[in-house]
Amino acid sequence: MLRLAPDSASAKAARTLARPATWSALGSTESLVWGKCQGSAREPYQVTVDLHEPAFRCTCPSRKFPCKHGLALLLLWAANDGTVTDLDEASGFAADWAHERAERAAKAASRAASTPDPEAAAKRQADRESLMSAGLDEFERWLFDLVRQGLAGVRAQPAGFWETAAARLVDAQVPGLAERVRALGAEVHVRTDWAEHVLGRVGRWFLAVRAWRRRASLSAAELGDLRALLGWARRSDEVLAGERVADRWWVLGLRQDEDERLLSQRTWLYGERTGQMVVLLDFAAAGGALRVPHVLGSVLDGELALYPGAEPRRALLAGEVTTATGDGLPVADSVTAALERSASWLAANPWLERIPLALRAVTVVPDEDGTVLVDNEGHALPLERGADVWPLLALSGGHPVDLFGEWIDERVHPCSLVAGGRLVAV
């Protein structure tokens, strides 16, 4: 049960909470287990677990998934000591949640089974492309004005300057680019390298505008990366009907990000036979629940459906998978080799913002100017600004370790490292 925990702190807290005195209204059926856990709020938290997936729901404010209450409830149920009563039917909040999930699944199945109208679909696509083209033309003029007035003045711009440009992109159905514009409006005030950062972003956005106008001549991979940048999502059934790859997929790293609107989760996988690095993306509205992440260090044997694009590609699980436990990090590069691989990926997709790095035998070295990771050839990469270096030092003991992370803005954001022969989240 505790292998589902997002981190060791959640697992420890779940063991503490797995006491009947903390719980009330406990019950279970063949598919559900539920209960109320008294926490710091006036009303007990309502906790439900769907045993089939498993899937979790809890009314606590935690953004970890699953939270400590859901894990503790599973521990109580697994003890099988009569604390959790077996019932024929779920009642109350558990039944309501199960009903909502069933309704959503039925609607999704209905949409998947419906026969599309090719003419209507073609017209919708043409209308959207026309709207996007007009919006990107206007965005190009905004970029020209930004450069003409001088990038030195962007720090003096009010929040509305960036928000207005982003809102117009949303109206033009280019939400991916809109989010990047909003983010840049905040980044210029907190980054010491804001000038170089703005110049790089503006250059990539201008490239995207020009690429959109030449979209008919782009390859499937190039168009796939451009669509991902602009925020033109692909339907799951469209992806599942496309390219597939079967392999033994190692779960190398997990990372969650959250803002006021969205909770996202990236799961990085490595194909044992193909050598491909892919990422699974899951999303939930702020305050909602993500799917249970795959266990770090496990190996999934099955088939993935790949989104169009250059490596590293986004993927979907294409069917049932079997799970085993792996040891260590199955792929690792020197700093030089990792940077060469990153450069080749960026050459194919200039809008790539997060690049997976698997580093071999790097030592964590704190420095006055920031912590660095040094390999056995003496080459170093800087760690992300403000990173908590103590867990890395504690797990490595000052010795070289294999480490997996994301390369973002020319800094390593660590996700996991090998300790005692196993991958451990950091």
Q: What is the pLDDT of residue 397?
A: 92
Q: What pLDDT score was predicted for residue 138?
A: 97
Note whether 326 and 299 are within 8 A (CB): yes
Q: Is residue 146 part of a domain?
A: yes
Query: Who wins on pLDDT, 307 or 388?
Result: 307
CB 156 within 8 A of CB 130: no
The answer to whether 111 and 55 are in contact (CB under 8 A) is no
Residue-wise pLDDT tens digits, 59-97: 998 878 889 999 999 999 988 888 898 888 887 899 999
H/E segment holding residue 68: helix 68-79
- Residue 330 forms part of a structural domain: no
Same domain, 223 and 246: no
The pLDDT of residue 64: 82
Poorest-pLDDT segment among 165-174, 210-219, 313-322: 313-322
Other residues' Cβ atoms within 10 Å of the Cβ of residue 119:
8
- Residues 405-426: pLDDT tens digits? 999 999 999 999 999 999 999 8
| Percent share of the chain, pLDDT over 70 | 96
Give the residue-averaged pLDDT of 21-30.
91
Q: Is the predicted pLDDT of residue 147 greater than 80, yes or no?
A: yes
257 — pLDDT class (breaks 50, 70, 90): confident
Rounded CA gap, 389 and 376, in Å?
Answer: 20
Contact 268, 356 (CB under 8 A): yes
Cis check: omega of the bond before 312, within 30 degrees of 0:
yes
Domain total in the chain: 4
Mean pLDDT of all residues in 183-207 = 94
C-alpha–C-alpha distance, residues 370 and 383, integer Å: 7
| Co-location of 267 and 216 in the same domain | no
Q: 243, 221, 265: which is closest to 315 by C-alpha?
A: 243
Greatest distance between any 2 Cα atoms in the chain: 73
* Residues 252/329, Cβ–Cβ less than 8 Å: yes
Average pLDDT of the chain is 91
How do beta strands 355-365 and 401-408 pair? antiparallel
Q: Which of 201, 230, 259 lies at the terminal end of a domain, its last residue? A: 230
Does one domain contain both 126 and 63?
A: no
Whether residue 367 is found in the same domain as residue 309: no
Which among 325, 345, 371 is the end of a domain?
A: 325
Contact yes or no for 263/285 (Cβ under 8 A)? yes
Residue-number span of the structural domain to which 398 is assigned: 335-425
Helix (H, G, I), strand (E, B) or coil at 214: coil
| pTM for this entry | 0.76
With b meaning 16 or more CB within 10 Å and e meaning fewer, what string describes 152-176? eebeeeeeeebeebbebbbebbbbb
Is there a single domain that holds both residue 109 and residue 6? Answer: yes
Strand, helix or coil at 2? helix
pLDDT at 291 exceeding the cut of 80: no
Q: Which two tokens stand for residue 100?
A: 């909502």
